[in-house]
Amino acid sequence: MTTYVLRRLLLMLPVAFLVTVGVFLLIHLTPGDPALILLGEDRSPQAIAQIHQQLGLDKPLYVQYVIWLGRIAHGDLGRSITTHQPVGTAIAERLPATVELGLAALFWSLIVAIPLGTIAAVRRGSIADQIATGISVGGVSIPNFFIGIVLIFVLSVTWRLFPFGGYVAFTKDPFENLRHIVLPAIALGTAGTAINMRFTRSSMIEVLNNDYIRTAMAKGASWRRVVFIHALKNALIPVVTIVGLQIGGIIEGAVVTETVFTWPGVGRLAVESIFNRDYTVVQGIVLLAAFSYMVANLLVDLVYGWLDPRISYS
């Protein structure tokens, strides 16, 4: 097991290298000169050249890349070109809020999707199944910013049940923290809920047709026992794959949701930095998003082993 994890981490290195190349090129080929943002009104060619020199932008692209790679290898993501704060610190300050939101969204999506998908599969063709299908089609097709705006309008502006945005640290006031997280978590998690439910449903239907389900029934197991003990563990195997991808995608989803709910996370930092052409910060965030995908994939493979004993890591 440990060997497996170590091997997987080693295999991540070439992927990580390609990711850095991709991120670097993406950011540097994007039009827009940070010097123009920094200078504001005074845009003399000399001033621009001076900024370029300061930031190392006058050097050839591959030299810039090597310098940048050398720094991130030491854990130095550079400094924000607008606030001069170290990028690592800027992200670290915002990360807990995003992780909290992401986990809450994931929790919401699973707590709804697995029971609903199971019921839809067991009673397929019933009204419950059709309602669940309707919810999932809606969940996938309605963009999360729109869900967010509707939630704010109905639950916080009209009914005043929840605050319409902002963030309170859990350490400061746990109750207010939870009250603030409900709406953004639902907005961010709904698309995932819909997808996870469809996966749970189809996977459950397939599993219920297996011979070992008939064996369990022949043993005298109750329907509930058959579904929740014999079928569910098998049915969750494909669901885990898709959930893994969702964990990796939390930062992307947070970009929009955090903006709608003025949530002080990495997503909003990304938006602000893009507007400011603060390419060092954007680079850092894109890199973080890419790495979270890689880590999520590893986690998925480890969970597989726990769910399905046929997979061995030796």
Contact footprint for other proteins (CB under 8 A): 210-212, 214-223, 225, 230, 233-234, 307-310
**Smallest gap, in angstroms, from Cβ of residue 110 to other proteins?**
19
* Closer by beta carbon to other proteins, 89 or else 222: 222
CA 30 to each of CA 24, 25, 33, 279: distance values in angstroms, whole numbers, following the listed order: 10, 8, 9, 10
* Closer by beta carbon to other proteins, 25 or else 311: 311
CA 25 to each of CA 22, 72, 204: distance values in angstroms, whole numbers, following the listed order: 5, 15, 43
The residue ranges of DSSP E strands in 88-207, in sequence order, are: none
* Closer by beta carbon to other proteins, 120 or else 216: 216
**Smallest gap, in angstroms, from Cβ of residue 235 to other proteins?**
10
**Smallest gap, in angstroms, from Cβ of residue 5 to other proteins?**
22
* Closer by beta carbon to other proteins, 54 or else 215: 215
**Smallest gap, in angstroms, from Cβ of residue 125 to other proteins?**
10
For residues 39, 41, 47 and 49, what is the CA-based torsion angle, rounded to 10 degrees?
70
* Closer by beta carbon to other proteins, 14 or else 309: 309
* Closer by beta carbon to other proteins, 94 or else 230: 230
The pair of three-digit structure tokens given for residue 152, joined into one six-digit string: 């704010």
What pairs with residue 79 in β-bridges?
86
**Smallest gap, in angstroms, from Cβ of residue 200 to other proteins?**
16
* Closer by beta carbon to other proteins, 42 or else 211: 211
**Smallest gap, in angstroms, from Cβ of residue 244 to other proteins?**
19
Q: What is the DSSP letter of 152?
A: I
The pair of three-digit structure tokens given for residue 35, joined into one six-digit string: 């010097």
Q: What is the DSSP string of 225-272?
A: HIIIIIIHHHHHHHHHHHHHHHHHTHHHHHHHHHHHTT--SHHHHHHH
Which of these, 55, 69, 87, lies nearest to 20 by C-alpha position?
69
Q: Looking up tokens 């602000």, which residue turns up?
A: 272
